């Protein structure tokens, strides 16, 4: 119990782990990746070594999937599987803590359009992860589309990996033009100095950056062969007659981000407006649980790191460390949030996207539920809640458990998407792993009897 457990080793988690360790407490940093950095600081997986150095007091548990957080007397129990992704032979570990820092980040939102289920349509995050982490461009000719400043580094990463980026289609037209005129406007902000750099690089590569433009269809039989882009009205309704066909073999889409809320929900943290509600010390509504980074609002790496530093200090304080309030980091959090609010206002997902979706467009990719079937279920069965909606339509019932479709389905039918984030099993594990999982830290602590217990799954031949 007397340790800080940090989940997630992106900008927020790294800062939290470092801050807590520097205050003299023991820290365990759990992360799904093989290397530190998360999505934002993604490292080249093929290069040797790790470019992040952590204080010695931090134990980094890599390749670790947190599948459950269980509230227990005086704190929380964090259930982890460690080993190769989705492999039945992973080992279990149970961490008990009085100070849990959740820094689980966010993932790209993709809104559906006809053809978005074809191979060759990726999220912007996938294109970036493949380029930066694996050195692979997802296509030869790539259309980058969606909304938000994140599209720029994705386009740059694609170009660096050898792809021809045919166009960046930004669905919004940010006021004050702080990206529509990339070179000048982005230079005006200190917040994302790298954006100016990205904008400059795109200009040098002669990549057109078009605002009020979106991909409204992808074409191909078994893989993307072309896409249709259209000009948009302010509410994102496509302007009739403005459609253009572009010859591409890949489309990378990103419409902002969805926070990975399941662990926070499992810990019973209050969620407000789709994000974890936190106080000035990054404390959630649950004593002993802190949240930092994109979980509390989408604001980029710098804000995430500031929040992480505050959360790490607060978590250390909870364990008895003598802590001066991290006033500098707290001030950076406050100004960062103002910037994040401006960002959110400049790049919202506007309602017109629902007009791109046809009755036969799959909205739930896992269960292959088309829009028509979803709406039929809602209308004919008069569904009022997310649980009946899932069970009656199939949407959100598949392997991703509504991670991809939840926000879209909720918006299409006018329900609150919060229920989709309720995932008691936060990451899938094999039934044999669950059968053999230790349920308490003591049990996992390694008496011979409990080790035998952990191999239960193999005993059953």
The interface with another protein within residues 51-70 (CB under 8 A) comprises 68, 70
Query: Which one of 158, 214, 314, 366 is in contact with another protein (CB under 8 A)?
Result: 366
Query: Segment near another protein (CB under 8 A), from 18-26, 295-303, 323-331, 389-397?
Result: 389-397
Question: 262 with 423: CB under 8 angstroms?
Answer: yes
Report CA 332 to chain centroid distance, whole Å: 22
Query: Which one of 341, 425, 445, 447 is in contact with another protein (CB under 8 A)?
Result: 425
Strands 209-211 and 164-170: parallel
CA dist., res. 308 & res. 300, Å (int): 12
Does residue 449 bind another protein (CB under 8 A)? no
Question: 292 with 184: CB under 8 angstroms?
Answer: no
Does residue 159 bind another protein (CB under 8 A)? no
Residues 267-296 that bind another protein (CB under 8 A): 268
Residues 3-42 that bind another protein (CB under 8 A): 32, 34, 39
Residue 257 CB, shortest distance to another protein, in Å, is: 11
Report CA 75 to chain centroid distance, whole Å: 26
| CA-to-CA dists, residue 301 to 13, 103, 113, 341, 343, angstroms | 11, 12, 29, 15, 13
Query: Segment near another protein (CB under 8 A), from 16-24, 293-301, 321-329, 388-396?
Result: 388-396
Residue 138 CB, shortest distance to another protein, in Å, is: 7
Does residue 382 bind another protein (CB under 8 A)? yes
Residue 366 CB, shortest distance to another protein, in Å, is: 7
Is the CB of 47 or the CB of 175 nearer to another protein? 47
Strands 27-30 and 106-108: unpaired
Does residue 306 bind another protein (CB under 8 A)? no
Place of tokens 């991670």: 403
Residue span 85-114 as binding mask against another protein, x where in contact by CB under 8 A, dash where not: xxxx------------------xx-x----
CA dist., res. 272 & res. 227, Å (int): 37
Residues 207-226 that bind another protein (CB under 8 A): 222-223
Query: Which one of 59, 194, 376, 411 is in contact with another protein (CB under 8 A)?
Result: 376
Residue 418 CB, shortest distance to another protein, in Å, is: 13
| CA-to-CA dists, residue 151 to 175, 199, 267, angstroms | 17, 10, 33
Question: 156 with 162: CB under 8 angstroms?
Answer: no
Return the bridge partners of 142, or none: 165, 250
């Amino acid at each position: 119990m007397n340790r800080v457990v940090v989940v997630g080793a992106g900008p927020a988690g790294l800062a939290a782990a470092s801050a807590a360790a520097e205050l003299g407490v023991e820290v365990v940093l759990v992360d799904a990746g093989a290397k530190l950095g998360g999505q934002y600081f993604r490292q080249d997986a093929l290069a040797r070594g790790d470019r992040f150095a952590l204080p010695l007091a931090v134990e980094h548990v890599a390749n670790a999937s947190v599948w459950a957080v269980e509230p227990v007397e005086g704190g929380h129990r964090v259930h982890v599987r460690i080993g190769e992704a989705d492999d039945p032979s992973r080992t279990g570990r149970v961490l008990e803590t009085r100070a849990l820092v959740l820094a689980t980040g966010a993932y790209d939102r993709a809104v559906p359009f006809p053809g978005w289920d074809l191979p060759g349509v990726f999220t912007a995050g996938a294109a970036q992860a493949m380029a930066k982490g694996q050195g692979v461009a997802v296509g030869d000719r790539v259309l980058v589309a969606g909304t938000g400043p994140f599209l720029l580094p994705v386009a740059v990463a694609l170009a660096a990996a050898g792809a021809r980026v045919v166009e960046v289609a930004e669905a919004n037209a940010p006021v004050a033009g702080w990206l529509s005129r990339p070179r000048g406007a982005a230079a005006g902000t200190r917040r994302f100095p790298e954006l100016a750099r990205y904008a400059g690089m795109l200009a040098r590569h002669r990549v057109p950056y078009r605002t009020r433009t979106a991909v409204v269809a992808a074409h191909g039989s078994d893989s993307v062969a072309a896409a249709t882009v259209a000009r948009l009205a302010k509410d994102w309704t496509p302007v009739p007659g403005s459609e253009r066909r572009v010859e591409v073999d890949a489309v990378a889409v990103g419409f902002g981000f969805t926070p990975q809320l399941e662990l926070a929900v499992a810990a019973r943290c209050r969620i407000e407006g789709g994000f974890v509600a936190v106080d000035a010390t990054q404390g959630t509504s649950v004593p002993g649980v802190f949240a930092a980074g994109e979980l509390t609002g989408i604001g980029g790496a710098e804000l995430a790191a500031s929040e992480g530093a505050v959360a790490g200090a607060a978590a250390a304080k909870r364990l008895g460390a003598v802590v001066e309030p991290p006033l500098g980091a707290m001030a950076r959090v406050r100004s960062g949030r103002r910037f994040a609010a401006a960002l959110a206002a400049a790049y919202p997902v506007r309602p017109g996207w629902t007009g791109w979706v046809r009755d036969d467009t799959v909205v739930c990719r896992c269960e292959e539920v088309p829009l028509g079937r979803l709406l039929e279920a809602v209308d004919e069965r008069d569904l009022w809640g997310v649980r009946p909606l899932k069970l009656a339509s199939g949407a959100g019932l598949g392997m991703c458990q509504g991670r991809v479709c939840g926000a879209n389905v909720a918006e299409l039918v006018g329900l609150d998407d919060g229920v989709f984030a309720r995932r008691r099993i936060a990451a899938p594990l094999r039934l044999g792993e669950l059968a053999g999982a230790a349920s308490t830290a003591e049990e996992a602590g390694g008496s011979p009897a409990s080790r035998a217990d952990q191999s239960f799954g193999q005993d059953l031949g």
